């Protein structure tokens, strides 16, 4: 389903922001956003959750 949604968003010209928790060589995709405003609003909570779960950092990629 994620692939379908991502493909549909690309066809509409929208960007997808994928968020990951990382530590060492491990990473886990934890969220996906369709706009930067929502991502930025959620980022403080994502950082808090990452610390609580013992992840070292929060990173993101933008799919064009």
Pairing of strands 57-63, 26-33: unpaired
* pLDDT of amino acid 3: 45
Average pLDDT over residues 20-42: 96
* pLDDT of amino acid 1: 34
* pLDDT of amino acid 30: 97
What rounded mean pLDDT belongs to the chain? 86
* pLDDT of amino acid 48: 97
DSSP 24: T
More confident residue, 7 or 21: 21
**10-26 pLDDT, tens digit each:** 546 678 999 999 999 99
């Amino acid at each position: 389903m994620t692939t379908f949604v991502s493909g549909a968003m690309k066809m509409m010209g929208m960007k997808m922001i994928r968020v990951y928790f990382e530590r060492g060589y491990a990473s886990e995709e934890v969220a996906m956003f369709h706009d930067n405003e929502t991502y930025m609003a959620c980022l403080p909570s994502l950082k808090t959750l990452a610390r609580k779960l013992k992840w070292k950092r929060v990173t993101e990629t933008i799919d064009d």
